[in-house]
Structure 1
Amino acid sequence: MVIAAACNSETILAANLSRSPLLDHVPLQTEWGAGSAAHAYNRALDATSQDIVVFAHQDVFLPRGWEKLLARRIAEVAAIDPDWALIGAFGVGADGPHYGPVWSSSLGMIVGRVPLSPIPALSYDELLIVLRRRSGLRFDTSLPGWHLYGTDIVTEARRQGLGAWITALPCIHNDRYHGVLGQDYVDCYRAMQRKWAGQLPLRSPIIKISRSGLHLWRDRWQAWRDTKDRLGMAIGTDTPVEQLAALCGWSDLTACS
């Protein structure tokens, strides 16, 4: 196993992902200066050889015992789907709900239903994606920027008949409040509309990708209207990630079933 991260801040990396206890014995591959998430992650694939690649944001913290829990979750998925390709920590299940659980600092809460068994996925939040190298999947470098690639790679896996699953992999996403979806998000949304025109609508964890695009404008307006409430929900990212894990009951995941 290897952890791979696209990075742009030594400070954020040092305060979050680099503090994960598993990095004492699991390698971390960091990619700097990439023009998009797809370019960064494909570079990480090319620079490593391990079959299990965990793509994690630089502001994610993996509590003690997380890698042992992942091994158990992989075994659970493999019992259902021996040729699985992807596992996500948070996403939209094929049955509709959002599954986790993960802590989000930008929301000030644990988010996502706890799946009692692996759930087929429609899309992932990009905070953490586990990719099985032997699946042959790679990220699409024709897609711009840093958004919606979790929805894209799940859709690609499903198109190829490969399994994409969500399992309970608790982790800390020490993310800042994001505000209204910007032009960079609009560009990614438009790219997904073009690429998957024949499969629309698609559901990302944040938004529905539809032919008309009305969901984009509706959700941007809603986010602007709810700015004050959302700011009130968010907590500062300066709380030590170990403290956040402890408050969630995730100080040590070794014994988690």
Structure 2
Amino acid sequence: MTDFVLAVASNSEELLDANLRRSPMTAHVPLHVEWNAPSAAVAYNRALDATTAPVVIFAHHDVYFPRGWEDLLARRIADLPADWAVVSPFGVGLDGAHFGPVWSSSLGQIVGRVAMAPVPVQSFDEMVIILRRDSGLRFDGTLAGWHFYGTDIVTQARAAGRGAYATSLPCIHNDRFHEALGPDYVACYRAMQRKWAGQLPLRSPITKISRSGLHLRRDLWRARRSAGFRAGMTVDTGTPVEELARRCGWLDLRGSL
């Protein structure tokens, strides 16, 4: 499988070994790791510069791709409109609907409507972003931290007249529970407000980026208030990822439509 390369930013061999490296596709799809980068954008641009495959699969180190996922991806790419630049297993549609499906351990459930066909989106969850190299897109190196770069790359694509889509590519996000959104999240929100002032509002999977910022304040408050309830929803990230895939019915995607 020479058309794909898998790229990840990581700071933990343990998490990488327990999740992404257990994906069967890593036996034949090259895996490029960027260690301890200062931001997602820096890590992913370094990966772009260090690799040559036409399609780059950027994934979090706590993601697991079930057996046959890369073959399903090849079929999904064949179904994409010719203008596609980026695609993801999870995205926010232009109407604000969430499309998947993907498993989230922090939420303890499968999330996202099943995308029956490629769906144009306004943002991605950053767990997996698939980029077409000849689109010429790169991540914004001035965007510090680890938030909103999925919204940014989609907005870049749309501003350039290229397509950004969600499509059905079931996978496991074995993510840990986070009690609240921190100052780094707020800083990235403010950066997106400034950069895309002419395109606002934009909906990310977590909040709406608006000119006033009232949605951020509301969602920070809601996150604090709901922390106990959300903690009760989580599934232990120590559960083997293959078992999570089996419970979802995604242990082997070969033959999936």
TM-score (norm 2): 0.98
Describe how 1:82-231 pairs up with structure 2 within 5 A: 82-231=82-231
Amino acid at match of 1:117: A
Deviations 1:58-102 (A, max 9, x none): 00000000000000100110xxx2131011110101232100000
Contact 2:96/2:203 (<8 A) preserved: no
CA drift of 1:235 comes to 1.2
Any idea what SS the aligned residue of 1:254 has? coil
- For 2:199 and 2:93, the matched residues in 1 are separated by 17
Contact 2:92-2:123 within 8 A present in 1 as well:
yes
Q: Counterpart in 2 of 1:2?
A: 5
Candidates 38, 42, 45, aligned match of 2:45:
42
What code does the residue aligned with 1:3 have? L
Listed one character per residue, the Cα deviations across residues 125-144 of structure 1 (whole Å, up to 9, x for unaligned) are 00000000000000000111
Tell me, what secondary structure is at the counterpart of 2:176? coil
Q: Secondary structure at the match of 2:223?
A: helix
Distance in 2 (CA, whole Å) between partners of 1:91 and 1:84 is: 14
Between the aligned partners of 1:68 and 1:94, the Cα distance in structure 2 is 28
Q: Which residue of the other structure, out of 10, 14, 27, is the alignment partner of 1:11?
A: 14
Alignment partners' CA distance in 2, 1:126 and 1:161: 21
Residue equivalent to 1:75:
78
Q: Which has the larger displacement, 147-156 or 87-96?
A: 87-96
User: C-alpha deviations, 1:223-254, integer Å up to 9, x for none?
Assistant: 11001100000111000000000000001001
Q: 2:202–2:208: 8 Å Cα contact kept in structure 1? A: yes
3-state DSSP class of the match of 1:2? Answer: strand
| Residue matched to 1:29 | 32
User: CA–CA distance in 1 between the matches of 2:179 and 2:152?
Assistant: 23
For residue 95 of structure 1, what is the amino acid of its counterpart? Answer: D
CA distance in 1, matches of 2:112, 2:83: 26
SS at structure 1 position matched to 2:84? coil
Consecutive unaligned residues in structure 1, runs of 5 or more: none
SS in 2 for 1:85: strand
Counterpart residue identity of residue 251, structure 1? L
RMSD after superposition: 0.6
SS of corresponding position for 1:46? helix
Partners of 2:65 and 2:171 within 8 A in 1: yes
* 2:57 maps to 1:58: no
Following TM superposition, where does structure 1 have runs of at least 4 consecutive aligned residues deviating by more than 3 angstroms? none
Alpha-carbon displacement from aligned partner over 1:13-68 (angstroms, at most 9, x marks no partner): 00000000001000000001211000000000000000100000000000000000
SS of match in other structure, 2:117: coil
Secondary structure at the counterpart of residue 122 of structure 1: strand
Task: Determine the C-alpha separation between the residues in 2 that align with 1:106 and 1:207.
Answer: 17
Residue identity (%): 66
The one-letter amino acid paired with 2:167 is T
Aligned residue pairs total 254
| Distance in 1 (alpha carbons) for counterparts of 2:156 and 2:179 | 29
CA distance in 2, matches of 1:200, 1:70: 31
Secondary structure at 2:130's aligned position in 1? strand
Deviation at 1:199, TM superposition (A): 1.0
Q: Supply the distance in 2 between the matched residues of 1:101 and 1:68 (Cα, whole angstroms).
A: 17
Mapped to 2, the partners of 1:94 and 1:203 lie a distance apart of 9
**Residue type of the alignment partner of 1:75:** A
